[in-house]
Every structure is written in C-alpha cells, then in structure tokens.
Chain A
Amino acid sequence: MTTLDFISVRKTFGTNVALEALDLDVREGELITLLGPSGCGKTTALRIAAGFEFADSGAVLVAGSDITRTPAHKRNMGMVFQSYSLFPNLTVAKNVEFGLRTRGVPSNQRLHRVAEMLDLVQLTPFADRYPHQISGGQAQRVALARALAVQPRVLLLDEPLSALDAKVRTTLRDEIRRIQTEVGITTLFVTHDQEEALAISDRICVMSQGRVEQLGSPTEVYRNPTTAFVARFVGSMNEFDAEVTGPSEVTVAGQRIGAPGVASAAVGSRVSMLVRPEDLSLAEDGLPGTVTSVTFQGATTLVGVRLDVLDRLVSADVGQGAADKLQVGDRVAIGINGSNAVCEPVKAGRSVAVDEPVA
C-alpha cells in the first residue's frame, strides 16, 4: 500500500517560513492537489516529498517508512516539472528509457516498458524525435511517460500544465487524470489554477502562507469553504458589507438575508459576506442596479451589475432564459441567496469596499 504522509513538516528559508507545520495524508491511488497562490508553500512541500529540499523538522513517510533524509535519487518518486525537463540530447524513447537505464533494467525489458509507456501517452510515432522536434504538450506527455516508466511509488506533478496554452492545458489535464486513474498511482499535484484543481482532484488542499487552509473534496472546498481565504481563492466571489441582525441573519442595504454562515458573529457586528455568482439571481424584490456587462458562458450567462445602494459591481450567474434579453444599461434587481455565504468579521480599520468582484 503506497501512501504519502507529511507529519508536522516545517521548512524555512532564512527568516521566511515556507511551511509552518504541514500535516497531510495522501491515500493510496488518490490525487491530492496542493492549491494556493505563489509563495504559499505548495512547491516547497512537493520538493520536500521529492527530496530536492529537506524539512527542518517533521517527517515524510511513504507507505509508512520514513524517507525524510533519503536523497532524491533513492526515493523512487516520479516527477513532472513545470518547465520542459526532457533531456535535449536524447530522443523521446531514450528520455523515457532514462530512469530504467539508471536502475540497470535489462535492455529487452527496457524497450518493452518504453513501448508500453509511449502507448499509454499515445506518442509511439514520436519515439525517435528529439525534444526540440515536438510540441510543449507532447513534451509534457513524454515527461509523464518518463516519470511513470520507473513504476514510482508516488507521482509528483509540479504545475505541469502552466506553460501550455489553454486548449492543450484542458486536454492534457484530462489525460493526466485518465492515466493516473488507469495506473492507480498515488499523486500529489501542485497548481495555482483553481479550475485545474477542481477538475482533476480527489481532494484539494488549499494553502496560504505555509499553512493548510482547508482540505476537502472539490465540492466541499467550492460549496463550503471554511475560511474567507478559501472562499476568495477558489472560484469567484461577490463581497457584501453586511450587519448581523439575528442568529443566522444579516442585513445588506436594508434587505434581510438568511445566512447560516454568520452563526458565530455577535448580533450588531459588521461582517463581510462572500457570495458566489450562482447564488445571486435576478429577483423582483432584490437590490436595484444597472447591467454593466453580459458575458455568454454557454449554459449560463455572467451578468455584471452595478448596485445603486452600495455602488458596487457584482456578478451573477444567470440561467439562459432570464439572461437572453438582457443588455448593458438595463435596470435589474439582484436577489442574494445567503445559504452558502461565508461571513468574515470586519477588522477595525479595514474597509471592505472593494469595487471589483473577487476572481
């Protein structure tokens, strides 16, 4: 059984704390994504797992055995990097073969394994090409094949899609997930792209400033963010200045809204209420405003509205029928569904008057 565990892993670079005390267990065959902005410690965690950095304290276990001090080349981890990491002097086939060669696998077995891997990433016709003769997407598929060829215990993916253009990124993302499920390998995936994380992961570990903010399934992280940071970072959010007027109720610009997320805040205090675009709708008795943009997104349409009372721009995900006739400049009213809202107490001196919805 191959699992990957981080136990209170701490890492500092000079005075900068990259990881505070990371506790994370990646289960067998699971794909966990470390998601967060740059500098949150996600890549450091991955590099510690790979053996390129060593933890100041804490332990890293693979299948229960401690590898905290094991050098990188003895860990048997497969890794795919952000930048193209294929060896320029070797053909695609030789690149895939590299790890097998270092392990002294007999040539016959090597060739068969390479053929198998190239078939898995559907690049058999490119076996004799050099890295400069293939595209970026193909290069990353070769890198994946190379990493998997050695039958690693854990697969580590360090933002493997970020150097690719949008279309290739989506295709390769799905392909990585297909291959990962097919091979059944325990995988740690690092990205700053929340869309990628939501699409590919069994569980997402949202990180900020060296700490885990939330660990949960994509649905949990998206629908029930436990902190305002997660709410803001994963998906889009509208932010409203609200006053707590009851045990599970807030008032926004005179409108009373049921918000279970406000439970812990004292009645009378002010909070910042975060609401997803899909929880805003066109409603007769909502907050009045003017349409500033209409963005067709396929099944839904994203409508930008500047609210009169708050002088704030919000975006609402509106179903096809309702959005069909909307045009920029139309007068509308916006209703707020507060059932999934995250409420954050407003700190003294902090203004929540942000004019743009948080992406």
Chain B
Amino acid sequence: MTDHIVHVLPELEGPPTAPTVMSPRPVGKPRARFARLVPNTVMIVCGLFFVLPLLTLARFSLQNVPTILLGSSTLFKKWSLSGLTKAFSAPGFWPALKLSLQLAGGTVLLTLGLLLPTAIWVHMRLPRARALIEFLTVLPYMIPAIALVAGIFVIKPHARWFLNSDFSLIPFYVVLALPFTYRSLDAGLRAIDLRTLVDASRSLGAGWLATLRTVIMPNMRTAIISASFLTGAVVIGEFTIANTLLKETLPRFQATYVGREPQAGYGLNLLALLLTIGLFVALSVLTKKRDRKGASFAVQMKRATTMALETTP
C-alpha cells in the first residue's frame, strides 16, 4: 500500500522538452529524493493509522447496511445521517450537551481566574518557586482520576449539599485541566518580558487590574486561548468523575446511549471527535497573529482636528 502511494507522488522529471544545454526544470538528486521519501512514508502511515478507524466508524454509524455486509461492494451504498438525527432527538441528549458546555465554560473561567494571577505572581515575585508549581500542576497527570474519585467518597458525607449540584464537577475539572492550562499560561508568560512590561505600565499610571487587562492579557492572547480550548476539550470528554457523581454530562449520555443504540451512539462519538478536531483547527486559526489596525494615526489626528474646528464657535 505504502509503495503504491509513494509512486503516486509527483514525478520530478518534467515532460519531454526540446534538447537544450540546461534542463528548464531541475532534476532532484537520488539522495534528496530518498531523504524526502522517508518522512513522507512515515506521515502517510501515521495518517492512515488515524484516519482508517475514523472511516470504519463512519461506515458503521452512517451507512444503513448490516455490519456483516460492510465490504468493498457496499462502500457507496445507503449513506445517511439518520443515525445522528436519531441521537439528537434521543431524550437527554440536549440537556447533557448543555450541561457539558456550561461545565466547560465554568471550568475555563475558574481555571483562568485562579491560574493567571498565580502564574503572573510566580513569574514576578517567586521565580524560585516556579519548579515547585510546575511539579504540582503536573500531579493530575500522575494521579489517576480514580484517586480523585476515592477522595470524593471521603468528602461525600460532609459535602452533600455541594456535590448535589451539577456544577460541583467544576473544581474537579479545574484540577484535571491544571497541567494543560498552567503549562500554556507559563509558556505565554515566558514569551514576554513580563517584569518590564508590568513596571512600564505601572509607571504610566496603570494599577494592577488595568495592567492585567490592558497589557498582560492582550500580549498573552495565544496562551489564554490555547489554555481555554484545552480545558474545554478535557471537560467535554471527561467520564470517570461525572459517572461517579451521577451527573448527566455528554460523555455519560454517550456511554449509556451507545449501549442502547450502537449505530447512532457511535455516530455521536464520531461527531464529538470531529467537533474536537474542528475546535483545534479553530484554535490554530484564531491564535494566528492578526494585524487588527484601527484608523491610522494621521487619520485620527485629521478627525480630531476637524472635530475641534467644528466645535469651535
């Protein structure tokens, strides 16, 4: 398969040309062609590794053909979105989606609200504590979610009032998202000369909040957007804790729905996966630096002068 695809790669030799001293199109050296061949092959193999399961998932969930008949002869037969529409109309789907999105929003806000000032404080005042904080924030990587769940059982009798609320998941999700969020914010802070920018802003009369809003956050846009999307992705896909606390989030709905309606359930999974991929594509597009210029200074000056002339009696 790989060989076949490699042959499809564009040939370097051009069409036959009139005999000239120098060929108009450079002919690649065999060594250079080989050097390109290896990474191309690896990329194609990896691509297939990711895409093939998705394609089979798509066939299973979106083709109205019995599984036993799914073969090359039925490749283009009976594709339909009816499985998905069925899932959308299943009882509990929309409330689960709504709850998951609310939890994602809440988690993003709480995470940023806690971690952004912490990261700034560590960079400005406690640079020596940076390693410790980094270690603490990767702990959720090392400690499995099930350990958190065990912790929940310990506090359950004392905090029933809290755990009864759907939004009690937010603090747990903040912990789960810590490694992604903190690293992203930390990288953003390292990329700017934070101390000088803060000092400059304060010497120009801006207080801490104004400095955060007008100087730090705009210059960390990429980091903040990345942190938010990563946190959102963690929340949208989390199952263990939601299941323990019996909250009807989207992953929990999916888990039970797949048992009832395998075809539509997997269709929903595929959709969720594509949405996540879409989210990351959107992330990379959104974080590309845009030149958002307003009116040029000369134009603003002209406007101001005209206004001044108009208002002068």
Contact = CB atoms under 8 A, between A and B. Distances in A.
A252 interface: no
A89 B219 contact: yes
A87 B206 contact: no
Interface stretch (B37-45, B138-146, B178-186, B194-202): B194-202
A191 B54 CA distance: 64
Contact of B203 (A78, A91, A103, A115): A78
A76 B205 contact: yes
B196 A81 contact: yes
Nearest to B205: A102
Interface string B186-213: 0000001100110111111111001000
Contact of A150 (B193, B204, B215): B204
A147 B206 CA distance: 13
B50 interface: no
A76 B300 CA distance: 27
B196 A73 contact: no
Contacts of B206: 73, 98, 102
A125 to B, nearest CB: 9
A108 B304 contact: yes
Contacts of A277: none
Contacts of B203: 50-52, 72-73, 75, 77-79, 147, 156
A75 B204 CA distance: 9
B218 interface: yes
A115 B199 contact: no
B205 A87 contact: no
A292 interface: no
Q: Which among A73, A99, A112, A143 has the highest number of chain B CB atoms within 10 Å? A: A73
B114 interface: no
A111 interface: yes
Contact of B205 (A81, A84, A103, A128): A103
B200 to A, nearest CB: 4
Nearest to A108: B304
A146 interface: yes
A102 B215 CA distance: 12
Interface residues of B, number: 29
B293 interface: yes
Nearest to B292: A89
A15 to B, nearest CB: 16
Contact of A99 (B205, B207, B297, B308): B205
A224 interface: no
A111 B204 contact: no
B297 A87 contact: no
A186 to B, nearest CB: 15
B199 A128 contact: no
A102 B221 CA distance: 21
Interface in B251-305: 291, 293, 296-298, 300-301, 304
Given A85-B193, A89-B219, A79 B200 contact: yes
Given A87-B215, A89-B218, A108-B308, A52 B297 contact: no
Contacts of B52: none
B307 interface: yes
A73 B192 contact: no
A114 interface: yes
Q: Which among B196, B197, B205, B293 has the highest number of chain A CB atoms within 10 Å? A: B205
Given A73-B205, A128-B293, A88 B199 contact: no
Q: Which among A79, A84, A89 has the highest number of chain B CB atoms within 10 Å? A: A89
Interface string A51-90: 1100000000000000000011111111101011111110
Contact of B300 (A83, A85, A98, A111): A111
Given A73-B202, A73-B207, A150-B205, A112 B304 contact: yes
A107 interface: yes
Given A102-B206, A128-B293, A87 B304 contact: no
A127 interface: yes
B60 to A, nearest CB: 48
A93 interface: yes
A85 B192 CA distance: 10
Nearest to A128: B296
A335 B195 CA distance: 53
Interface string A101-136: 011000110011011000000000001101000000
A176 B218 CA distance: 30
Interface string A135-175: 00000000100110010000010000000000000000000
Contacts of B205: 73-74, 76, 99, 102-103, 150
A146 to B, nearest CB: 7
Given A73-B205, A102-B206, A50 B199 contact: yes
A98 B192 contact: no
B120 to A, nearest CB: 15
A208 B64 CA distance: 85
A148 B44 CA distance: 59
A86 B202 CA distance: 13
Give me the 5 closest cross-chain CB pairs, A-B, nearest first: A127-B297, A99-B204, A85-B200, A93-B297, A102-B205
26 contacts: A51-B202, A51-B203, A52-B202, A72-B203, A73-B202, A73-B203, A73-B206, A74-B205, A75-B203, A79-B199, A81-B196, A84-B196, A85-B199, A86-B200, A87-B219, A88-B192, A88-B219, A99-B204, A102-B205, A112-B301, A114-B297, A127-B296, A128-B293, A128-B297, A146-B200, A150-B204
Interface of B: 192-193, 196-197, 199-207, 210, 214-215, 218-219, 221, 291, 293, 296-298, 300-301, 304, 307-308
Given A91-B297, A112-B301, A114-B297, 12 more contacts: A73-B203, A85-B199, A85-B200, A87-B200, A87-B218, A88-B219, A89-B218, A111-B304, A127-B296, A127-B297, A150-B204, A150-B205
